[in-house]
Amino acid sequence: MKSPKKVLKHIYLPILTATVVIIGLYTLAHYLLIIQYHLIEPKEILVDLFLPMGIAALFAYLFVRPKVSFLVVKDKTEDFLSLISVFAIGVPLIIMQLYINTENGKLTPLKSTTEITQHPRTKYYQIDNYYAFKKFSSFSVSRKSANRYGTEIWINVHFTCPMVDTTQYYGSMTDLNVWIGKTYGQRFPNHKWDMKEQPEKIQRFIDKSIKEFRGYNFHPQNYFKRLTNSEERDNFIEAIKRVPQGDEIIQHVTILEPEEGTYATRNGSKLAWLIGTFLGFQLLFFLLIYNRPIKTRLLSKYQKLDSSEKIKQSIGIIAYLVPAKGRFATSLLVDINLLVLLVMVASGTNLMEPSSIDLLHWGANFRPLVEQGEWWRLFTSIFVHAGLVHLVLNMFALVLIGIFLEEALSLPEYLILYLLTGVISSISSMFFHERTLSVGASGAIMGLYGIGLAMILLNNDLKKSRGILSIGLLVIIGPTLFMGLIAPVDNAAHLGGLISGFIIGLIYIPIKKYLLETS
């Protein structure tokens, strides 16, 4: 039955109110904790992008999804409305953080770089006289994926050099406490068949960038932005570390980057975009739901539930994170992998694409380091992932096989076999790759699929064995190995886990069956 008033009262207005409250509270916390009182200094991308989108996704799933379920719509339409709500809160929330960053950024006018230590640190600087001292310039090279499949990469060369009053300015390298940075970037193909020529092409780009930087003239620019805790700043820090006494310099260095426009135009059109996206998405969402029929009985029934029952209904699939009978081991492993990524991100690691340095710090598998005695990497690398997408894909594969194996294996068996095949996959990766950094649970997960296939071959009494075969082969195993043929994916680890799991299953399952029958 169509009831626009009920839709407005019970669905749209609560969602609108909650959206405004979330944007307001998050922005207030950002302003007080980071901008005004500098109590914490997390990565910019975490505060400005990842947390807002994470909050928006949780809000859509936990709050919007239950409410749109009261509408008489198809499942796909319900999912679409939830997706729209993610953008309806996420996009304005992100723009709001960018806006308050620039709007509240103060400008310090300086006659020379030597004056910078005489003033409190600000976001923007105007420096009338300076010299880019390229004699002590340095650079670092960063690499990141340019698409979701890893078949293209971005290579960025980050140059930095001291900013001084004159070339006679300093007494020692540690006096060079103000540096200026510039980055050059280029996209490269990254298929397996590109690997032979890729190093040469990248080196030519680096050489070209060095030549361009040497001839680049900073001096017409006098308006700069100070880099705070960000991946961009980290790359310049890596460059400064390469100069003499670089480790001492970075302890107190200020890194500036030329900023386009003027201080008066620093906000650009952010405010217009903020208002436009907020009103636009709200209008779109309102028009999509306003004239929809509503499930009156379901709504009445829901309103009679107590708070705990409403929470249970809202949680949905998130309940799978709580270990319970029939999924204890799988949920436990998902939780551990998720927790590791959250701790990495909280410490400053990029959520979507961690750097190689961060992955090594958190325990990635790397043959040279393992051969130096860091054998623990064969184990820790199983729980470290190269970003959120990598984690989600692996956990999806784990859940698919886990719901079948948990009916055939005990908790200790499941965990031991998971870890054993995971370590074997790490050894396999290390054996075939001399200097490849390897992370992720995929080797251990492929090991579980190998065990599942062994159970099918041995006609083990699994109620859902055909499901394992069809899902495992068609959805996980085949595409995983195929991607390893065209993209730089660690197939050595995948095959190591799959084959070891299959062999272990062929040996262990008959032994277990025999012991149970004779006991």
**Tens digits of residue pLDDT in 106-146:** 999 999 998 999 999 999 999 999 999 999 999 999 988 87
List the one residue out of 334, 329, 498, 480 whose CA is nearest residue 422: 498
Question: pLDDT tens digits for 492-514?
Answer: 888 999 999 999 999 999 999 88
Please tell me the distance from the alpha carbon of residue 407 to that of residue 517, in angstroms, as a whole number. Answer: 18
**Is the pLDDT at 340 greater than 70, yes or no?**
yes
The per-residue pLDDT for range 221-247, each reduced to its tens digit, is 999 999 999 999 999 999 999 999 999
> Residue 460's pLDDT is what?
65
> CB–CB of 147/190 below 8 Å?
no
Catalytic residue among 69, 426, 438, 442: 442
| Residue tagged active-site, from 137, 142, 494, 500 | 494
As a whole number, mean pLDDT of residues 387-407 equals 90
Say which residue, 212 or 461, is predicted with more confidence. 212
* End-to-end Cα, the chain, rounded Å: 63
Q: What values do phi and psi take at 76, rounded to 5?
A: -65, -40
Q: Are the beta carbons of 140 and 239 closer than 8 angstroms?
A: yes
Neighbour-count burial of 78, counting CB atoms closer than 10 A to its CB (0-12 exposed, 13-18 middle, 19+ buried): middle
Helix (H, G, I), strand (E, B) or coil at 191: coil
The residues that bridge with 257 in the sheet, in sequence order, are 225
pLDDT over 70 at 486, yes or no: no
Superfamily of domain 322-518: Rhomboid-like (1.20.1540.10)
CA-CA distance, 314 to 297, in Å (whole number)?
Answer: 18
What crossing angle do the helices spanning 491-518 and 442-457 adopt, rounded to 10°?
40
Half-sphere exposure at residue 212, Cβ-oriented, CA atoms within 13 angstroms: 14
What pLDDT score does 442 carry?
93
User: With 60 as the cut, is the pLDDT of residue 423 above it?
Assistant: yes
Task: Look up residue 261 and give its two tokens.
Answer: 């426009």
Amino acid at 164: V
Is 209 in the active site? Answer: no
pTM value is 0.85
pLDDT band per the 50, 70, 90 thresholds, residue 192: low
Q: Exposure string (b/e) for 56-77, b if CB count within 10 Å is 16 or more?
A: bbebbbebbbbbbbbbebeeee
Work out the average pLDDT over 313-328: 83
b/e string for 433-453 if b means 16 or more Cβ within 10 A? beebbbbbbbbbbbbbbbbbb
Decide if 494 is catalytic.
yes
Euclidean distance between CA atoms 175 and 254, whole angstroms:
12
- Which residues of the chain does CATH 1.20.1540.10 include? 322-518
C-alpha span between 507 and 519 (Å, rounded): 19
Q: Is the four-CA dihedral 432, 156, 180, 40 of positive or negative sign?
A: negative
pLDDT given for residue 469 in this prediction:
58
- Residue-level pLDDT at 475: 65
Tokens of residue 319, six digits: 């309940």
Q: Are 326 and 402 in contact (CB under 8 A)?
A: no
